Structure 1
Amino acid sequence: MRERAPVTPSGGITPMQQMLASGTGALLTSLFVTPLDVVKIRLQAQGSPFYQGKCFVYCNGLMDHLYVCQNGASCTSWYKTSTHFSGTLDAFVKITRNEGVRSLWSGLPPTLVMAVPATVIYFTCYDQLRDFLCFGMGYQGIQVPLVAGGLARLGAVTVISPLELVRTKMQSRQLTYSELRVCIRSSVAQEGWLSLWRGWGPTVLRDVPFSALYWFNYELVKAKLCAGYSLSEASFMMSFVAGAISGAVAAVMTLPFDVVKTQRQIQLGEMEMLAAPAKKPSSTWQIMSRILADSGYRGLFAGFLPRVVKVAPACAVMISTYEFGKTFFQKLNRERALRAL
């Protein structure tokens, strides 16, 4: 007898309502996690500024952004060298005191422009795919969240990749829109349309397994918590705990691909900065082999604690807010249906 999948239907809410719930969750997650990553970047930068003065990767738990600083120059509000921080709490205090509270949300605009649409696509597609597999095709097994999560993330990454490439080009070279259009046309003419999806491979290798593992563990932990407390639906706190646990597990298991993707992003960023299109960037497996040769298996798990500390709360805030939003719309729809009778 097959194990029944720990999933529940969307409760009759529309795709637009799912998009509103996921968009709200992405906005709140960005607001919550951005200060943590701003502090982390500033602490990292004072020890090794911009990875040898060239570029660094900003990630708020929803999405990665590559920032390139030409000739070692600082990126406006992203980096200031005037203050030394002795630790995380010290950084929070000094940034707030010397630069104002708003500095803790530096970099929020690119997150809202890129991460929110990606998250809306991702979460809405997951719910739609999960319901289709369960109630449209009749699949009832632990493979449902694995498949739905992986496919949803694959679709979101594929849609967003060209936009992220455009954003990186504009940031690295300070191009006008007309210059950007010429740059993209030239790239497409020389390398074909697939050049717009450069970096897609390593992103998929990290994000698709992460998504599949995340949703599998989330649905499993949520079902266990509901069964333990004899509840038919998970509460806000249950969703929060399940999101944190599943996010932490998925982050650890996919960490090697995250390390490789960061290395590749930095390499591509340096090429953008130097305007050197001739050199072909290293492949995912070449980068992984180089890390193994230089640092061994420990090198593939570099940044273990910062990634878990960042991803776990981001996943918890995102999924609990999303579930709360869906519950809100479910109740709203039921009340509307009753009034219509």
Structure 2
Amino acid sequence: MKEQDEPVLASTNITPLQQIMASSAGALLTSLLVTPLDVVKIRLQAQSKPFTKVMAIPATAIYFTCYDQLRDLLIHRMNNAETACLIAGATARLGSATLISPLELIRTKMQFRPLSYKELTQCIQMSVANEGWLSLWKGWGPTVLRDVPFSAMYWYNYELGKKWLCQRYNKLEPTFTISFTAGAMSGSIAAVVTLPFDVVKTRRQVELGELESLKNSPKRSSSTWKIMYRIISENGFQGLFAGLIPRLIKIAPACAIMISTYEFGKAFFRKLNNERQLKVL
């Protein structure tokens, strides 16, 4: 049937505001349940002892909504639905990663060592004064190298996995369990492949913090590939996969909870909108 040959258009009978509400609910639930595991991953990658509370980043709603809108637009213009999902995932993540890169830098700093908000403000002001506003995008390169391929692989595999599970269990639309399973599997695959760039991003941002605290410290190259070489020379090839288990433990349930909650929210709003239309008619 057509419903099984192509993914259901996410924004059918759904407004962008409703998409934002559904994704925000998923992001909040995911943050409450799995964000503490991100601290463990960062500590293993940075070899740092102390940390402070994790800052919640409200980028998920923008990312998911942009993905759905782009995907639906591309599906109408392209013959290959999976390719449309891959392109939409990469594009949406590129935009959201660029937008929230300064907040990601702040979050990593606060996980690396305890900082009051006053100290954090001073740290940011010092960084801007010394290196300009672009210093707030430190780590953008490896973040993009990590997040864009992750997003492309995640959505491509998620849509394939969701379609396969729907066909296997003879469902016209994905159930909560199908979305949960497909999200966990696709997230795990993408997490393993892109982990080295996550390690580089964390190392670069941590080294920036160390330079700020040591005025006479020699400046080290922040090139992604040179940082990779330095990690390999110091810790071996396995150093690029530091924090693998905590990342998988975090990513798999995070992707599963986020996408299943998001799909559930969209299904709720679709049903609500359909009921309203019937009442009008």
Give the alignment's TM-score, normalised by structure 2: 0.85
Q: Using the alignment, how far apart are the partners of 2:209 and 2:7 within structure 1?
A: 41
CA distance 1:190–1:255, change in 2 (3 Å): closer
Once the two structures are TM-superposed, the CA of residue 168 in structure 1 deviates from its matched residue by 6.4
| Partners of 1:173 and 1:273 within 8 A in 2 | no
Aligned to 2:276: 336
State yes or no: 1:142 paired with 2:82. yes
1:5-16 correspondence to structure 2 within 5 Å: 6-9=6-9, 10-16=11-17
Q: Using the alignment, how far apart are the partners of 2:181 and 2:133 within structure 1?
A: 42
Aligned to 2:24: 23
Once the two structures are TM-superposed, the CA of residue 253 in structure 1 deviates from its matched residue by 1.1
Deviation readout 1:103-144 (Å, 9 max, x if unpaired): xxxx25x22xx2xx2111111111011011112x23424211
Aligned to 1:283: 223
Deviation readout 1:223-269 (Å, 9 max, x if unpaired): 00011112111000000000000011111111221222222222122
Task: Name the amino acid aligned to 2:13.
Answer: G
| Partners of 1:6 and 1:220 within 8 A in 2 | no
Task: Name the amino acid aligned to 1:13.
Answer: I
Q: Using the alignment, how far apart are the partners of 1:232 and 1:322 within structure 2?
A: 18
Aligned to 1:118: 59
Aligned to 2:156: 216
Aligned to 1:82: none
Task: Name the amino acid aligned to 1:25.
Answer: G
Aligned to 1:155: 95
CA distance 1:148–1:287, change in 2 (3 Å): same
Deviation readout 1:143-174 (Å, 9 max, x if unpaired): 11111111111111111113344566788764
Identity value in percent: 57
| Partners of 1:161 and 1:200 within 8 A in 2 | yes
| Partners of 2:37 and 2:249 within 8 A in 1 | no
Q: Using the alignment, how far apart are the partners of 1:310 and 1:23 within structure 2?
A: 18
Q: Using the alignment, how far apart are the partners of 1:190 and 1:322 within structure 2?
A: 42
CA distance 1:312–1:25, change in 2 (3 Å): same
SS of structure 2 residue aligned to 1:222: helix
Task: Name the amino acid aligned to 2:147.
Answer: D
User: Looking at both structures, which has the greater relative contact order when contacts are Cα pairs under 8 Å and sequence separation is at least 6?
Assistant: 2
Give the alignment's TM-score, normalised by structure 1: 0.71
1:63-82 correspondence to structure 2 within 5 Å: 78=52
CA distance 1:277–1:128, change in 2 (3 Å): farther
Structure 2 unaligned spans of 5+: none
SS of structure 2 residue aligned to 1:279: coil
| Partners of 1:218 and 1:243 within 8 A in 2 | yes
Deviation readout 1:171-198 (Å, 9 max, x if unpaired): 8764649x948964x7556544433322
Indicate which of 72, 89, 93 corresponds to 1:131.
Answer: 72
Matched positions, count: 275
- Larger mean CA deviation between 156-165 and 307-316 belongs to 156-165
CA distance 1:35–1:159, change in 2 (3 Å): closer
CA distance 1:293–1:187, change in 2 (3 Å): closer
CA distance 1:195–1:172, change in 2 (3 Å): farther
CA distance 1:258–1:35, change in 2 (3 Å): closer
Task: Name the amino acid aligned to 2:92.
Answer: A
CA distance 1:202–1:335, change in 2 (3 Å): same
Q: Using the alignment, how far apart are the partners of 2:159 and 2:20 within structure 1?
A: 20
Once the two structures are TM-superposed, the CA of residue 12 in structure 1 deviates from its matched residue by 1.6
Structure 1 unaligned spans of 5+: 57-73, 79-106
Task: Name the amino acid aligned to 1:245.
Answer: M
Aligned to 1:252: 192
Task: Mark the structure with the bigger radius of gyration.
Answer: 1
| Partners of 2:38 and 2:247 within 8 A in 1 | no
